[in-house]
């Protein structure tokens, strides 16, 4: 895929609609307090999910792969409440922060998960403020941006949503995070390429059509400072403020109701969701 693909631009009217739905009456100031405020509200209101992706797979697949265009990503969230997996969601994060005036760049690396191919399997975002890079990653959902200062250990200190940056030899980092449905594994993310282009994000996202955990069964996860709610494989999983995970099975009707009532997904979109593949690959 050519790196000559132009950078996506969010039109001002869409930016304003996104800020309005986030409940932000004004554009955030371009300082650390403004960035943390923006990131916290995004972490709490935009889910990690594959709903649009599941619908795309169930269709005729003639339209472009859903969510790769940041404008489409944010229009979907405004109208239907959906987010995305890492490439579309962090592509959207980059475009939004850039439109708001932050010094923003995309990076890529590997989340180290058994059975998942390494080498550019996760796209993320950094924002430069006063000479310091801050991690601005929606998938990781830290509720506070994580500073990356050479040689220094850093943590967000945000409880069940904590992110940790551990320096490694050669002026790099390994970043550790929790996914909402797994409280046994503190997952490492190793940045490998900095910066990367929009075209690179699209190419890597396109690769997930045939490789990955998020194609066969519905999964959606939404964070708050006190809990993390996930639905996957017809189960409702809740992580409480102590990090304790509970699981409750759901019927089809209960799953639909939870998507609408607990996640704010539009009824129109919920009705388009295909059933899970019984033997499909999924993270749990």
Over residues 58-82, the pLDDT tens digits come to 988 888 899 999 999 999 999 999 9
What pTM was computed for the model?
0.95
Which tens digits make up the pLDDT trace of 21-57?
999 989 999 999 999 999 999 999 999 999 999 999 9
**249 within 8 A of 234, measured Cβ to Cβ:** yes
What is the number of residues in the chain? 284
DSSP3 helix / strand / coil % (the chain, rounded to 5): 30, 25, 45
The residue among 276, 269, 272, 235 whose CA lies nearest residue 77 is 269
**Cα gap 40→239, rounded to integer Å:** 18
Q: Which residues of the chain carry a pLDDT beneath 50? A: 1-2
Tally of CB atoms within 10 A around 56? 18
Q: Phi, psi at residue 171, to the nearest 5°? A: 70, 35
Give the relative orientation of helices 32-45 and 12-22 as an angle to the nearest 10 degrees: 70
Which runs of consecutive H residues, i.e. helices, occur in the chain?
12-22, 32-45, 51-58, 70-80, 86-99, 198-207, 252-261, 267-270
**43 within 8 A of 223, measured Cβ to Cβ:** yes
DSSP state, 84?
Answer: B
Structure token digits, residue 142:
């830290």
The residue among 116, 129, 114, 40 whose CA lies nearest residue 85 is 116
3-state secondary structure (DSSP) of residue 74:
helix
Tally of CB atoms within 10 A around 251? 9
Domains, the chain? 12-211 (3.30.2140.20)
**107 within 8 A of 224, measured Cβ to Cβ:** no
Structure token digits, residue 30:
């371009």
**Cα gap 124→195, rounded to integer Å:** 10
Q: Tell me the torsion sign for CA atoms 105, 166, 192, 114.
A: negative
**What was the pLDDT predicted at 63?**
86
**What was the pLDDT predicted at 30?**
98
Strands 235-239 and 228-232: antiparallel
**What was the pLDDT predicted at 1?**
47
Structure token digits, residue 52:
């649009």
């Amino acid at each position: 895929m050519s790196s000559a693909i132009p950078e996506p631009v969010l039109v001002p009217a869409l930016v304003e609609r996104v800020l309005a739905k986030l409940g932000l009456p004004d554009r955030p100031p371009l300082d650390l307090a403004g960035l943390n405020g923006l990131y916290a509200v995004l972490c709490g209101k935009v889910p990690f999910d594959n709903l649009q992706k599941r619908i795309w797979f169930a269709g005729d697949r003639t339209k472009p792969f859903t969510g790769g265009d940041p404008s489409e990503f944010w229009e979907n969230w405004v109208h239907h409440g959906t987010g995305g997996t890492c490439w579309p969601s962090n592509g959207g994060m980059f475009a939004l922060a850039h439109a708001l005036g932050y010094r923003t760049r995309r990076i890529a690396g590997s989340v180290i998960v058994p059975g998942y191919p390494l080498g550019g399997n996760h796209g993320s975002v950094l924002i430069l403020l006063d000479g310091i890079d801050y991690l601005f990653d929606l998938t990781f959902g830290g509720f506070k941006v994580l500073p990356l200062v050479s040689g220094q250990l850093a943590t967000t200190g945000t409880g069940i949503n904590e992110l940790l940056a551990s320096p490694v030899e050669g002026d790099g980092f390994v970043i550790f995070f929790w996914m909402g449905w797994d409280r046994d594994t503190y997952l490492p993310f190793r940045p490998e390429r900095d910066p990367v282009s929009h075209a690179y994000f699209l190419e890597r996202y396109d690769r997930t059509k045939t490789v990955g955990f998020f194609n066969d069964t519905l999964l959606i996860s939404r964070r708050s400072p006190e809990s993390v709610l996930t639905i996957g494989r017809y189960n409702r999983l809740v992580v409480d403020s102590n990090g304790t995970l509970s699981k409750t099975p759901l019927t089809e009707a209960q799953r639909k109701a939870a998507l609408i009532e607990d996640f704010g997904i539009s009824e129109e979109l919920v009705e388009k969701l295909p059933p899970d593949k019984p033997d499909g690959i999924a993270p749990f």
